[in-house]
Structure 1
Amino acid sequence: MVRSSYPDVEIPAVSIHEFLFGDVDEERLDAVAIVDGMSGATTTYRQLIGQIDLFAGALAARGVGVGTKVGILCPNVPAFATVFHGVLRAGATATTINSLYTPEEIANQLTDAEATWLITVSPLLPGAKAAAAALGFDDDHVIVLDGADGHPSLPALLGEGRAAPEVSFDPATHLAVLPYSSGTTGRPKGVMLTHRNLIANVSQCRSTISLGDDDRVLAVLPFFHIYGMTVLLNFALRQRAALVTMPKFDLGEFLRVVQEHRTTWVFIAPPIAVALAKHPLVDQFDTSAIKVIFSGAAPLDGALASAVANRLGCIVCQGYGMTETSPVTHAIPYDRPDIDRSSVGMLLANTEARLVAEDGSDVEAPGEGTSAPGELLIRGPQVMKGYLNRPDATAEMLDADGWLHTGDVATVTHDGIFRIVDRLKELIKYKGYQVAPAVLEAVLLEHPSIADAAVIGALDDDGQEVPKAFVVLQQGADLDADAVIAHVAAHVAPHEKVRQVEFIDAIPKSASGKILRKDLRAR
């Protein structure tokens, strides 16, 4: 077993609202908390806290409180912080929904999460409304932040002037959020994260990710994703930095925002690193304010990290985590240039890890050099409570001793530096988003011309993982790769689309009928 080399940090037994906003210094209250990267409009900490309280009060007046689940379908705009933390301030649980989801996917998540409210914005209202109608939501249970006929709006709710409610719950057990993850395989499941889980991970990050109150943090990673939720929406605000929001990634806009708002820390996923390393547009903008680029959500290649660092003249680090760990478990400290950038760095404070070989024995940390590989197991206060209404899936992921089985294969050096070397799990990581092969295979098999199909992760020309379909056609069927891609695209969110297709005679399977993905990868 390896234990973090950092001393344990205290995890206060309070709500996430109290932890983040309960002790903002008087002088900091009038500092900028959030900047709208598109318009330049600013929100101070005083204004943000006031809006959160008013929104919580409006929700409470409508019966929202402990036990209520609220869906949030919204891009990265400043109002996201108000409604997300307003929901939690009211004692309710937020389930954050991918902005790219289809109406069917939105409805599936709302149903599984047992949500009875939905918060969205007018550009996403058609999908939200279709999902809400399918579930029988009244229009007054669908809040449209920027306003739509028949729906409550954010200005109207804040304008009611209601005080935030007094709520009581145990932060160690009460669910703050229900983000969705496929775990190591299968369809998405609701990950039960408590107030303590979120507070723990913010507290743990403070010893490794050294944001301060003079930093401006670019928030292009979606807040609905656990990485954006914890590291940006919670951690950056706890550190009293200023968040600069972007609703979606566009390289030109990204570079304009970096230049105009002088952002100092930029949190990304690897596909953005590819653009920063290679695209000629980068040279047309002033990126000199960037001190640190921190990558997560998928593996970052060491050579790519070096290329970005050299081109932009900044520090590039990466970390590792999962939705099930709130998410961060490892990170490269920005002040450790000696650590290999293709590693995921060191364990965060309060965190333990084990590497387990195929035979079930523990891989021992070496006296010098690097260990043999083994499946990475994690234990710490950031580990989820379990999957919502899925005791079997929880038991597969989280053992009786509190060890979470990540499904990733790692090595560790004698000085506690971890590297992810393989993945046991079948999940595909496309641009940091989780794509479950089982979901795409089900869609493929709905096509009348497809006899059998399997999906794996394959590398594109930039070395990034994309969904690749292996397809067996029905006898006499005439179907090309473009038609296969179009069929899948019509039924899933854009990030879940199949990007490559290979036609084969038969899908390799075990005697029990399980797809032999390793054989497909070997092709």
Structure 2
Amino acid sequence: MILRSPYPDVEIPEVPLPEFLFGAGFGDRGDAAAFIDGATGSSVTFDELTGMVTRIAAALHERGLRRGDVVALFAPNSPAWVAVFQGVLRANGIVTSANSLYSPAELAHQLTDSGATMLVTVSPFLDRATAAAAQAGLPDDAVVTLDPVDGRTSLVDLLGSSATPPELEVGPGDTAVLPYSSGTTGLAKGVVLTHRNLVANLLQFTPLGTTDETTRILAVLPFFHIYGMTVMMNHGLHRRATVVTMPRFDMAEFLRVVAEYRLNRLYIAPPVAVALAKHPLVDEHDLSCVDVIFSGAAPLDAELGHAVARRLGCVVLQGYGMTELSPVSHSMDERHPDDDLNGVGYAIPNVESKLVDPETGREVGPGERGELWVRGPNVMSGYLNNPSATAATLDADGFLHTGDVATVDERGFFRIVDRVKELIKYKGYQVPPAELEAVLLTHPGIADAAVIGVSDAEGEEVPKAFVVVQEGVTLTADDVMAFVAERLAPYKKVRVVEFLDAIPKSASGKILRKDLRARENA
């Protein structure tokens, strides 16, 4: 049973991303701030950014970059990150964005796998960047910095070029970006996203929101992740909004930037929601400017979301997506924000969905659980140099198998209930870790939590909770287990508890269950 989006299809122009974002100019928004560095206050206007992108494209072409060549970006969020990203695409190149936390070995894998010929970084990352470049066989002069470094080509040098920019030769079907999947299930894979994928997704989720020239967006989630790249950076440009960047999340700095720059739209992941709901520093800042908080990258518990909404007096929404979907496929409608926060909303325009029983392959209907399959113009071309992984994820009919278990109601409103490979099988019952985590986070003494399945003395798989306790609170394992037992069916009870200082998570906020499992096997 194929479920079409309840929204009418949007028309997708057959143009590459640079033409889509910059081709018409910025009119009376030209002198407005496009991007502001929240840490320093330095800003770049829309017209200034256009000039920077053109000069960077010319300089890269002068250095030998040609259509289809790959440039790796290994740096934290900043206006300069945006300029180089757009400049590479304008030079007919491809951007592969690298996780700022990567070790040299992890970065070297991405450089090698993507075929990158240049690496752009910042001086604090230079040791890791040069080590990775050497491992990947890149010459030393292939490493370029955003900030000035003696003996290195920097962004200042690129902007000083007097060369002529090349013609824009790429088409909608050409690869634009190669973000790498989070690697929560093995070695990170390059996701091939075309210019059409990115243009389509920007137009697909626009009708569900109200972002416009008056919007001031916080970009603390990393641009190297597709969520930050599409939903904050590119969508901000598309809608002529002002985007304020942060290089990393720090609670005090986060609150200062929101209050000082009067930001009205915050994109976050659930760990930030936990802090906004429970951290005492929140009460020391004027956050009355915030109208909308949008959570993505991992499931947001409804009670937690409502707690944030009450505390800040704003609307809290969430949606669903993944790197392979450019990334958005489902979203709550900002214009009708009263929907159940336990859900992720509706399929966006041009998207078809279906739910499939992962064990039987039977397509299921409203009210039944099934793996979410998605088809639309935002679906990736495949995994780079990995036909077997592509075939396992993208079927012959164009449906991407997300690996997430969902339900849908008669309205077409979707809820993500767990991961196919993360369900705990306890005495034949299916126990969703996400359900237990949601209950644990309602405990006022628990700051964060994660659940995995572990084997007990009899070899039975049982739920184990990893718990981070709020500062100043004392909890025992028995306290935690009793709290869950009072709220869920007996077969869903937490049976083992371990206290941690922090839950391991990816930069996008996903729980790294592989790291928790590794603790069990150590």
Taking structure 1 as the reference length, the TM-score comes to: 0.82
Q: Classify the secondary structure of the residue corresponding to 2:85.
A: helix
Which residues of 2 match residues 291-330 of structure 1 at below 5 A? 291-330=291-330
Q: CA deviation at 1:164?
A: 2.0
| Conserved? CA contact 1:468–1:499, under 8 Å | no
Q: CA deviation at 1:471?
A: 12
Q: Classify the secondary structure of the residue corresponding to 2:65.
A: coil
Which segments of 5 or more consecutive residues in structure 1 lack a partner in the other structure?
366-370, 428-455, 473-480, 508-523
- Residue of structure 2 equivalent to 1:262: 262
Letter in 2 for 1:152: T
Which residues of 2 match residues 41-440 of structure 1 at below 5 A? 41-172=42-173, 174-181=174-181, 185-357=185-357, 358-365=359-366, 371-426=367-422
Distance of aligned partners of 1:138 and 1:465 in 2 relative to their CA distance in 1, 3 Å threshold: same
Distance of aligned partners of 1:21 and 1:467 in 2 relative to their CA distance in 1, 3 Å threshold: farther
Distance of aligned partners of 1:354 and 1:503 in 2 relative to their CA distance in 1, 3 Å threshold: closer
Q: 2:345, 2:212 → 1: CA distance?
A: 21
Q: CA deviation at 1:500?
A: 5.2
- Residue of structure 2 equivalent to 1:517: none
Q: Classify the secondary structure of the residue corresponding to 1:425.
A: helix
Letter in 1 for 2:360: D
Which segments of 5 or more consecutive residues in structure 2 lack a partner in the other structure?
424-432, 441-445, 458-465, 467-499
Distance of aligned partners of 1:359 and 1:136 in 2 relative to their CA distance in 1, 3 Å threshold: closer
| Conserved? CA contact 1:466–1:498, under 8 Å | no
Q: CA deviation at 1:426?
A: 5.0
Q: 2:213, 2:132 → 1: CA distance?
A: 40
**Which whole-Å deviations, capped at 9, do the CAs of 1:152-175 have from their partners, x for residues lacking one?**
100111111323211313212x11
Q: 1:150, 1:471 → 2: CA distance?
A: 58
Distance of aligned partners of 1:471 and 1:90 in 2 relative to their CA distance in 1, 3 Å threshold: farther
Distance of aligned partners of 1:23 and 1:503 in 2 relative to their CA distance in 1, 3 Å threshold: closer
Distance of aligned partners of 1:467 and 1:82 in 2 relative to their CA distance in 1, 3 Å threshold: farther
Q: CA deviation at 1:497?
A: 9.6
Q: Classify the secondary structure of the residue corresponding to 2:190.
A: strand
Q: 1:144, 1:194 → 2: CA distance?
A: 26
Q: 2:314, 2:98 → 1: CA distance?
A: 33
Distance of aligned partners of 1:322 and 1:464 in 2 relative to their CA distance in 1, 3 Å threshold: farther
Letter in 1 for 2:62: A
CA RMSD of aligned residues (A): 2.8
- Residue of structure 2 equivalent to 1:6: 7
Letter in 2 for 1:423: R
**Which whole-Å deviations, capped at 9, do the CAs of 1:300-351 have from their partners, x for residues lacking one?**
0000000000000000000000100000001111122331011000110000
Q: CA deviation at 1:224?
A: 0.1
User: What percentage of residue pairs aligned between the two structures are identical?
Assistant: 53
Aligned length: 457
Q: 2:402, 2:88 → 1: CA distance?
A: 30
Q: 1:119, 1:147 → 2: CA distance?
A: 12
Taking structure 2 as the reference length, the TM-score comes to: 0.83
- Residue of structure 2 equivalent to 1:19: 20
Q: 2:513, 2:361 → 1: CA distance?
A: 36
Q: 2:233, 2:159 → 1: CA distance?
A: 21
**Which whole-Å deviations, capped at 9, do the CAs of 1:138-165 have from their partners, x for residues lacking one?**
2221111102222210011111132321
Q: 1:284, 1:210 → 2: CA distance?
A: 29
Q: CA deviation at 1:215?
A: 0.8
Q: Which runs of 4+ in 1 moved over 4 A?
A: 456-460, 466-472, 492-504
Q: 1:497, 1:381 → 2: CA distance?
A: 31
Letter in 2 for 1:70: V
| Conserved? CA contact 1:219–1:228, under 8 Å | yes
Q: 2:195, 2:72 → 1: CA distance?
A: 17
Q: 2:284, 2:109 → 1: CA distance?
A: 44
Which residues of 2 match residues 459-498 of structure 1 at below 5 A? 459=437, 461-465=446-450
Letter in 2 for 1:27: D
| Conserved? CA contact 2:26–2:47, under 8 Å | no
- Residue of structure 2 equivalent to 1:451: none
Distance of aligned partners of 1:503 and 1:418 in 2 relative to their CA distance in 1, 3 Å threshold: closer
